[in-house]
A = this chain, B = another copy of it.
Amino acid sequence: MDARTEERTWTVGELAGDLGITTRTLRFYEAEGLITPARAGSNRVYGPREHARMRLILRGRRFGMTLAECREIVDMYTGAESSEQRQLTTLLARLDAIAEDLERRRADLDRTLTEVTDVADQCRNRLTELGLEE
């Protein structure tokens, strides 16, 4: 019965619930060419591949990337194995650029984090002072 190729599938509603988004978002992303689920008749069928792809996209969104940027990256991921030498080279360049950007963001975030915790510490000190004065 070919049981080993039986992969889990999701409907729009299921996947949306699973990912914490709405069905509208899934359909919108499809219209924008970010995902291409299979069809059972007219109904969308999402497989594990689409599930992973969506998680990638959503992570991109969390980092403030536009949908176009998300698509670019996800396409690069999925096309990484099948690429020819020339494409691999340009892909590698893009990946390095992205990594560089991410490291900049990381440094930025670290600075912000220490600043925030510093202010929080000042608050704590001020509070203990106030507590001792009265």
Q: Which of A's residues lie within 8 Å of B, judged by CB?
A: 59, 62-64, 76-77, 80-81, 83, 85, 88-89, 91-92, 95-96, 98-99, 102-103, 105-106, 108-110, 112-113, 116-117, 119-120, 122-124, 126-127, 130
Number of copies: 2
Are A113 and B108 in contact, CB atoms less than 8 angstroms apart? no
Residues of B within 8 A of A122 (CB): 80
Max chain B Cβ within 10 angstroms of own Cβ: one of A85, A109, A123: A123
A96 with B119: in contact, given A106-B109, A113-B106, A127-B89 (CB under 8 Å)? Answer: no
Besides A81-B126, A95-B120, A106-B109, 17 other CB < 8 A contacts? A59-B108, A62-B105, A63-B108, A64-B64, A76-B119, A80-B122, A88-B123, A88-B130, A89-B127, A95-B117, A95-B119, A95-B123, A96-B120, A102-B116, A103-B113, A105-B109, A106-B113
Are B92 and A102 in contact, CB atoms less than 8 angstroms apart? no
Residues of B within 8 A of A113 (CB): 99, 102-103, 106
Q: Please, how many angstroms separate the alpha-carbon atoms of A108 and B65 in the complex?
A: 14
* Chain B nearest CB, measured from A123 CB (Å): 4
Q: Please, how many angstroms separate the alpha-carbon atoms of A76 and B76 in the complex?
A: 41
